[in-house]
Chain A
């Protein structure tokens, strides 16, 4: 058992975080496919609004239902056995938000109040911040269904990924302890009869409300307050979910996977992300560097070759053509061999830089963290055979 295989057989949840543009969704899907190859019932969840997973998995529907990805053909055509199953789902932001409200609301009246609220409508459609809440909510649902041996959660890029860790408790605390109390229930007698403390609360609440009205205008203020009022009725539901989700994220059988490239700008974001995750008391168990090196030897695609080597080009030319070339031909071939030397040298240098970058980030990670490095493969991966091709790289344990 090597590379990522041991980890995915041991864990129930893998949270993939990383900078944008590194192929996080593709890597998540490839890991999921690998898990299915190992016989696991696997689900990959993506909240990347670009629907790239859909491209990779041939899912064309834009709703958020969980679908089984047909993998039989893959077995037949590529000689690969896939004893497990692969499922995939993505998010439709507004629809997910609505169904979340419906699930959390204690009664229909509260639900309708929220769903009709114009502030809510504006927020549900436009706020990217809500992605994190929704991801967590969806995660909670599938983790408690018990239908999957392994769930892989693909998160929004970079810094936002930290919202994953912060979002659930933020909303719950906000509803529970926050100033929402100041704003809600005014003029309805609530909180007015409970002694000096409640009276103070009520009067500062009135002041806060007025202030808010001055700042954003009366209409928006009233609508916002109505929104929070309705939301307030859901606080129990949110709090329960938040603590359940927090314990899932911090469970022994949950791992965080950092996906990056070895490119300088991505590495800076990856490093910041690794530090952010660590400061929240969570370890990164595996780093996957996607599209990070060039394969220099065709019989050893997994080797990361950093030495361009020495080839006696004059001798090679003789061995290939045995002096049968005229002068012009010879000059042209020599010119090509020189061009090829440059291509090889540049590739080897790029590999060297990539390994340096990997070592640098590695020194910031726990010693037990796996480091997996994937070669640059041709084109963007958009189908299952493409995902399958990542398998050997995911299974390769690197000593760096």
Chain B
């Protein structure tokens, strides 16, 4: 697979900061720690006095696990100081949709209680996606005292496939839907999804070969086929250097001496350290590849070794993530300022 460098679009210094967008969508392969990144970003948003809402699409045990196993339901609830979360399940989203679009509430409720009808809507194409987008737009539109109720909304997309499906809805439906309430609704989604000031899609990956490759492919697909603005690329679990360069330089010497003196545990330690250095070097190589091939602001998050992610660890991840983005946009501002000065 070719890793072609593309540099046609750059993030300008004037584009709004990540947290200033209304709808922050996150996607990435399962197991890359997307849930952690979403949670950490939300915690940081709350620390800065905002009112973030995490929206899970499809239930994952791991989000509840990050917030002391507070259960997350359709109705938004506060999962930690200032952070709200909800699970956008399809059945409830569909019920909301019916309530809005069927004038007689009794009929709407009857339909939702009918198991067979529910199955029908589950199987009908794109209905799940439309109901989901409908709910997301409704959340985005919610106001309290003239201000948005949620600031921002962070959407944890189940998997890359799910993200693409949602983004595809307007396109898939274009040929299928004539004028009507649904048409207007979908036009509304299209403009929300395609508005870079409101909606931004961030990617999460790991500094390993296959996840990095898949991220690059996803990035290309998004760039070619979708109008959605791209946010940041979060590289999770970046290992630290196990030894300083000075220490590493002495490894050979210690290894041969330890062998000669027959100190087995020390020989093993050298092997272990070399392996840890290889992990770290491989991770670095993948990060460099991603930096060359992807023109998105990149955030590197450290590998956390504790048994469970405690609240402080999550908070510090979020802080580090947003600060890295701020440093970068400050740098961009400086460079473009310098460029203007030279002219």
Whether B177 pairs with A217 at a CB distance below 8 angstroms is yes
Residues on the B chain within 8 Å of A319, using CB: 261, 263
The answer to whether A380 and B210 touch across the interface, beta carbons within 8 angstroms, is yes
* B68 CB to nearest chain A CB (Å): 13
Q: How many residues of A contact B (CB 8 A)?
A: 77
- Interface residues as binary, B20-47 with A (CB distance below 8 Å gives 1, 0 otherwise): 0000000001111101100000000000
Contacting residues of chain B (89-113) with chain A, CB-CB under 8 angstroms? 97-98, 101-102, 107, 111
B282 beta carbon closer than 8 Å to chain A = yes
User: Judging by beta carbons under 8 Å apart, are A20 and B247 in contact?
Assistant: no
Is residue A122 contacting chain B, with contact meaning CB distance below 8 A?
yes
* A337: Cβ under 8 A from any B Cβ: yes
Of the A-B pairs whose beta carbons lie under 8 Å apart in the complex, a sample of 6, sorted by A's number, is A217-B182, A224-B124, A311-B266, A332-B250, A339-B243, A343-B269
Check if A264 is an interface residue, CB within 8 A of chain B. yes
Whether, in the assembled complex, B308 has its beta carbon less than 8 Å from a beta carbon of chain A, the answer is yes
B307 — which chain A residues lie within 8 A by C-beta? Answer: 264, 353, 356
Collect the chain A residues with CB atoms within 8 Å of residue B211's CB: 21
The residue of chain A having its C-beta at the shortest distance from the C-beta of B214 within the complex is A50
Q: Indicate whether A265 reaches chain B with its CB closer than 8 angstroms.
A: yes
Specify the main secondary structure of chain A where it touches its partner: helix
Task: Find chain A residues with CB under 8 A from B183 CB.
Answer: 217
| Chain A contacts to B: CB under 8 angstroms | 19-22, 49-50, 52, 55, 118-119, 122-123, 126-128, 157-159, 170-171, 174, 177-180, 183, 208, 211, 214-220, 223-224, 261, 264-266, 268-269, 271-272, 294-299, 309, 311, 316, 319-321, 332-333, 335-337, 339-341, 343-344, 346-347, 349-350, 353, 356, 378-380, 382
8 closest Cβ pairs, A-B complex:
A21-B31, A20-B30, A320-B257, A157-B30, A272-B61, A217-B180, A340-B269, A123-B125
Smallest Cβ-Cβ distance to B32: which chain A residue: A21
Are A20 and B29 in touch, CB under 8 angstroms? yes
Residues of A within 8 A of B177 (CB): 216-217, 219-220
B173 in the interface, Cβ–Cβ < 8 Å? Answer: yes
CA distance A99 to B282 in the complex (A): 42
Alpha-carbon distance A340/B175, docked complex (angstroms): 63
Give chain A residues whose Cβ lies under 8 Å from the Cβ of B101.
214-215
- B61 contacts across to A, CB distance below 8 A: 268-269, 271-272
Provided the pairs A20-B31, A296-B272, A332-B250 are in contact, do residues A223 and B176 lie with their beta carbons within 8 angstroms?
A: yes
Map CB proximity to A onto B170-188 as digits: 1 under 8 Å, 0 otherwise. 0011011111111100000
Interface string of B257-284 (1 = CB under 8 A from A): 1101101111111111101101100100
B251 within 8 A of A: yes
**A378-B278, A380-B210 are contacts. A122–B273 as well, Cβ < 8 Å?**
no
Interchain pairs with CB closer than 8 A, number: 207
Given the complex, which residues of B lie within 8 Å of A268, measured CB to CB? 61-62, 65
- Is B31 in contact with A266, judged by CB distance below 8 angstroms? yes
Known: A379-B282, A380-B208. A159 touches B59 (CB 8 A): yes
When distances are taken between beta carbons in the complex, the residues of chain A under 8 Å from B181 are 214-215, 217
In the complex, B7 has a CB within 8 A of chain A: no
| Contact call A211/B102, Cβ cutoff below 8 A | yes
Chain B positions within 8 Å of A339 at CB level:
242-244, 247, 273
**Is B305 part of the binding interface, using a Cβ–Cβ cutoff of 8 Å?**
yes
Tell me the complex Cα distance, A311–B30, Å.
41
Q: Is the CB of B261 within 8 A of A122?
A: no
**Contacting residue for A265 out of B65, B251, B253, CB 8 A:** B65
Surface stretch bound by A, among B9-17, B157-165, B323-331, B333-341: B157-165
**In the complex, what distance in Å separates the CA atom of A260 from the CA atom of B111?**
40
Q: Which residue of B lies closest to A380 (CB)?
A: B209
* B209 lies within 8 A of A379 (CB): yes
Contact A316 B258 (CB under 8 A): yes
With known contacts A214-B101, A311-B266, A126–B165 Cβ distance under 8 A: yes
Q: Are B247 and A336 in contact (CB under 8 A)?
A: yes
B254 close to A298 (CB less than 8 A): no
- The answer for the CA separation of A223 and B120 in the assembled complex, in Å, is 14
| Cβ contact within 8 Å between A320 and B272 | no
Q: What A residues does B8 contact at CB under 8 A?
A: none
The residue on B at minimum CB distance from A171 is B123
Q: Is the CB of A127 within 8 A of B125?
A: yes
How long is the Cα–Cα vector from A224 to B298 in the complex, in angstroms? Answer: 43
Q: Does B2 contact A (CB under 8 A)?
A: no
